[in-house]
Amino acid sequence: MALVLEKPVHFFVTLALLVTATACSSRHHAPAQAQRGMYKIGAPYTIDGITYVPTEEFQHTETGVASWYGPGFHGKYTANGEVYDQSERTAAHRTLQMPSVLRVTNLENGQSTIVRVNDRGPFARARILDVSRAAAEELGMVGNGTARVRVEQLEMESQAMKQIALNGGGADEQRSALYKYVAGRRGPPAVSATAQATPPPPPPTPAVTVYPSNPRSPTVAPMEASGGAGAAPSAGTLGNGRPTVASIASSAISPQSMSGFYVQTGAFSTMGNAEKQRSLITSYGSTEISPASSGGREVYRVRLGPYSTQEAAGMVADRLRRSGYGDARVVAD
């Protein structure tokens, strides 16, 4: 009679639990003391029969479907040792180094955001990126769950993130630097008491080209005609119903701000068109609509800034031009 060796049922349960724990991904619960982030590329790995080869890149572009992940992973480890926070603008990519910086644009509604890659995924075959809930909200894709997106790696910001991580900077340091680099800002320059007492004369107002129609891709055209003859202007408006400089300055729409360098994306003869373009570029930095005059008529300039250096403003202008805003240029104020 054959000898049958039997093991208690709990032995197999324990074994199964050990195998499951070993197979878990990096998204496991983090302890109270969060581990600092690190710079990580990683070795090739295989999931569901597909082998992924992580690679250090700085000019990666990609188009495809993105998804988002939130509550189920909040508070767990990401693949580079951080603790996932769904309220931060982060993302999971299958092969890019961690951290790296991406601009993600929802091709279905035009909304965009900037994220820092700190995790691996997604591994559904039809998807190229997993973004956090905060990023998904900015992209307008929370309700649908997925969206077709364009992914553009920001080279300079990704290089900066690499150096911060290599020097031991964790998530907080990287997040702080990201905000700074994305906005192209530095702290305002120190001004001496003498300079404050005797400010230099303002520079001449730069030439203004007026775009009366499409705020996304403006075409140079003459100003549209004013309102009908004999119409009495209302308080705070010109004869054509447009608000005066004084009324704009007292409204919630931003007046002309402090001096520095700005990135101007267009000047429009109507407030409505200026507002439309402003809404399209808010993810690139701090925006404003600034009134000005051109040929004796009021125009509304759409600008980002101010930036303390021309180089910082130039970085933003370059990103705008690469994204289709060909008329973005740096102006001084």
Q: Is the pLDDT of residue 240 over 60?
A: no
> What is the Cα–Cα distance from 164 to 25, expressed in whole angstroms?
26
Spatial CA neighbour of 215 closest among 152, 162, 163, 287? 287
Task: Look at residue 183 in the predicted model and tell me its pLDDT.
Answer: 66
Task: Calculate mean pLDDT across residues 132-142.
Answer: 95
What pTM did the predictor assign? 0.48
For the segment 191-231, what is each residue's pLDDT rounded down to a tens digit? 444 444 455 555 444 444 455 445 554 433 333 333 333 33
Cis bond before residue 122 (omega within 30° of 0): yes
Q: Is the pLDDT of residue 22 over 60?
A: no
Task: Calculate mean pLDDT across residues 248-274.
Answer: 70
Task: Look at residue 98 in the predicted model and tell me its pLDDT.
Answer: 96
For the segment 159-191, what is each residue's pLDDT rounded down to a tens digit? 888 888 888 888 888 888 787 766 654 344 444
Which residue would you say has higher pLDDT here, 307 or 28?
A: 307
Tell me the two tokens of residue 262.
């700005």
Counting residues of the chain whose pLDDT is more than 90, the rounded percentage is 35
